[in-house]
Structure 1
Amino acid sequence: MVTKEEIKLYFEGLQDQICAALEQADGAAKFHEDLWIREAGGGGRSRVIQKGNVIEKGGVMFSAVWGDLHEKMLASMGLKEKVDFFATGVSIVIHPQSPKVPIIHMNVRYFEMSNGVFWFGGGIDLTPHYIVDEDAQWFHQQLKDACDKHNVEYYPKFRTWADDYFFNTHRNETRGIGGIFFDYQKVDETRDKNQLFEFVKSIGEAFAPIYTYYMNKNKDIPYTEREKEFQALRRGRYVEFNLVHDRGTKFGLETNGRTESILMSMPPMAQWVYNYQAEEGSEEERTLSLLKKGIEWV
């Protein structure tokens, strides 16, 4: 059975693999690495890339931390006794220069406690500034293929979970075109720990081919100043989700996590327009009309 040390080593290697692929596709910018140590146990490697040919700002973060489980986590899990925890994972957010290239997020993680309980979680979702049906369909097909190798029930289940999770309730709109999201994935009668880990690996290894595809395909498409302004507005709504609804961001800030790593997901520039109304019949109006749950792209 795979161990926490083996999972940690895999995630470190995944970070290396993804950073190398993104640097090659960008062709100019390189990742800056920031090593950090958590006083209570563990640490991580924060890698940030900025001002590239394609990527304006992005981060590929690895962490492995351990120690006493925080009281808020104990309460949320209904635990009364103190337990130790170990958590490791990779988290990614990329904000491109061009409004024709989408924002992307991915997270894969593993969590275990000294009482023997453990689980995997993660997800990957796409936030186009302008929704293009062909690109949305291709993205969801890649995720479906990755899921189907392990269980044909995963994609429809985790796609719905993503629609529900990546949703700005105060706007009544999804963050983007969704993807997949899964959490608390544990051993049961249909799968063991190794099988769960293989599934998580498939999702992690899908990231680089997916995003470099969009970088190469869309980076040279011309765009207008109006489209750049709409990109900034869409980034603003991305920020709203991360600060208002994202569980990881909220928990990290509430429990004195490493602020620079937590807020790496924020774009370098964004805007909020009071009572924004898209022009009737415009591509902006079409994109906003597609920010809803339940669209079956494949």
Structure 2
Amino acid sequence: MTDVLEKPTAQQPRVRGVIDKIFRQMFENTCEALQVIDGKDFLEQSWTRNNKGVWTVGESSEDTIYIDRALHNGNVFEKVGVNYVAIEGELPPGTSFQQSGALPTAIADQMTSSRCNRFFATGSSFVIHPYNPMAPTAHVNYRYFQIGNGSQPIYWWFGGGADLTPAYLFEEDAVHFHQVHKEVCDKYDSSYYHRFKKSCDEYFHIPHRGENRGIGGIFFDHLNQGNPEKLLSFVTNCAEAFIPAYMPIVERRKDMNFTEENKNWQRLVRGRYAEFILSCDRGIRFGLASGMVKQQSVFNCMPPAASWQYDDQPIPGSQEAMLREVLKNPRNWL
């Protein structure tokens, strides 16, 4: 990855009390926007660790904040799974950061060796499944991760992004979503959008299907090159961009007419979504291997209903076939 440093930077971003509050605000703002458009409130569950380090139901502590929220069978959204964390932890004995999936390379393990398996992570994530198959599923997640103790981490980075997974493709929606994110990227670096759009297409790919999970957006990982405060500002602006990028699309599509055949196709697309989460997603592997997440959190992001059909080839020339072609050959929308 081009965003990984060969050596840690001398500077680091402000950590506890700043970064975690920014992600918490993104969490609250996006939940509020979703509740406003849907008319139904989220259910919330907080988790804490007992004296054996096992996650149990309970109020989060000052050192460990772990919140799940879920919205089921709303007026607009069939299911929304959201999560916010700001926690410290330690990898289990015998597990490295590379093995756990935190990094695709051995760079962090080369730096840390046996010196430290402690980490601090904070971030917020959303997976949104609208009821109407004409409205796209959306995913947004931004995070900060550091290896080491206290105020002098051995290694740190930002990661995240936002992407769309439609069941039915409307080009104007794709253009709008990408344009909003490009405008944010361009304020900081003219190369960002093209790099991060490419990274998104490459990451959200299902190799065994030869298809992408959706029509992309932006995605970056191990972003730590440059001024840390500027990177923090960039990530903050990206997080803020999700609402104006996605909500107008939902408003346009949520009341469109659809048939049971459209719902059947939506469930097939959701099946591909589930396949990616379970077989390809690096964050899920790290969360489960490190003990950083509860299983309930992992499956909170899964679609409410999904289908698998043998040799599910759409009718040539149909809207479904057009989407499948785009998923096999990603487009440049701008």
TM range (shorter): over 0.9
Structure 2: distance between partners of 1:137 and 1:127: 14
What's the CA shift string for 1:62-97, capped at 9, x where partnerless?
001113244231665323223221100001100110
> Is contact 2:177–2:246 with CA below 8 Å preserved after alignment?
no
User: Equivalent of 1:62, from 84, 94, 101?
Assistant: 84
Amino acid at match of 1:49: L
Structure 2: distance between partners of 1:212 and 1:169: 30
> Is contact 1:50–1:56 with CA below 8 Å preserved after alignment?
yes
Amino acid at match of 2:70: V
1:209 CA displacement: 1.9
1:293–1:159 Cα change, 3 Å = farther
What's the CA shift string for 1:229-254, capped at 9, x where partnerless?
00000000000011010111122233
More deviation, 118-127/202-211:
202-211
Alignment of 1:1-298 (within 5 A): 2-27=14-39, 29-39=40-50, 40=53, 42-70=64-92, 71-73=95-97, 76=106, 77-78=108-109, 79-83=112-116, 84-114=118-148, 115-187=153-225, 191-256=226-291, 257-298=293-334
> Is contact 1:68–1:82 with CA below 8 Å preserved after alignment?
no
1:32 CA displacement: 0.8
DSSP-derived class of the 1:56 partner: strand
CA RMSD of aligned residues (A): 1.5
1:293 CA displacement: 4.6
> Is contact 2:82–2:301 with CA below 8 Å preserved after alignment?
no
1:294 CA displacement: 4.3
Structure 1: distance between partners of 2:254 and 2:330: 29
- What stretches of structure 1 of length at least 5 have no aligned partner? none
Q: TM-score, normalised by structure 1?
A: 0.94
> Is contact 1:101–1:219 with CA below 8 Å preserved after alignment?
yes
- What stretches of structure 2 of length at least 5 have no aligned partner? 1-12, 54-62, 100-105
Structure 1: distance between partners of 2:177 and 2:295: 31
> Is contact 2:163–2:218 with CA below 8 Å preserved after alignment?
yes
Structure 2: distance between partners of 1:163 and 1:273: 25
> Is contact 1:164–1:293 with CA below 8 Å preserved after alignment?
no
Structure 1: distance between partners of 2:296 and 2:90: 22
Structure 2: distance between partners of 1:220 and 1:261: 30
Structure 1: distance between partners of 2:48 and 2:315: 49
1:60 CA displacement: 2.1
DSSP-derived class of the 1:44 partner: strand
> Is contact 1:143–1:203 with CA below 8 Å preserved after alignment?
yes
DSSP-derived class of the 1:149 partner: helix
Structure 1: distance between partners of 2:146 and 2:276: 27
> Is contact 1:90–1:109 with CA below 8 Å preserved after alignment?
yes
More deviation, 168-177/243-252:
243-252
Structure 1: distance between partners of 2:89 and 2:179: 39
What's the CA shift string for 1:86-114, capped at 9, x where partnerless?
10000110011010010000110001122
> Is contact 2:79–2:130 with CA below 8 Å preserved after alignment?
yes
**Number of residue pairs matched by the alignment:** 294
Structure 1: distance between partners of 2:65 and 2:299: 17
1:180 CA displacement: 0.8
Q: TM-score, normalised by structure 2?
A: 0.84
